[in-house]
């Protein structure tokens, strides 16, 4: 009885642990690349504001390197 249930218990615990860490890993990755939310941001070296890496717009401050026509 004990010899049968212990490996099953360990296996169940391993599955739960794997699922837990897998979920944490996926949720962490998903938060970084969520569509709709602000994706990758870069810090404007001139004004210090964080702007979107793609399609960055000029923040309006003098000397901002982004969004200049």
Binding stretches for Zn ion (CB under 5 A): 44, 47, 59, 64
d(CA 25, CA 34) in angstroms, rounded, equals 14
* Closest to Zn ion by CB, 5 or 44: 44
DSSP conformation class of 61:
S
Considering the complex, what minimum distance in angstroms separates the CB of residue 36 from Zn ion? 23
Considering the complex, what minimum distance in angstroms separates the CB of residue 60 from Zn ion? 8
Cα 6 to Cα 14, 63, 68, distances in angstroms:
12, 67, 67
Considering the complex, what minimum distance in angstroms separates the CB of residue 46 from Zn ion? 5
């Amino acid at each position: 009885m004990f010899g049968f249930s212990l490996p099953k218990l360990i296996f169940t615990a391993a599955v739960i642990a794997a699922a837990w860490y897998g979920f944490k890993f996926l949720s962490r990755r998903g938060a970084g690349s969520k569509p709709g939310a602000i994706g990758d941001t870069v810090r404007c070296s001139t004004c210090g504001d964080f702007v979107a890496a793609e399609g960055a717009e000029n923040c309006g401050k003098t000397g901002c390197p982004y969004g200049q026509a």
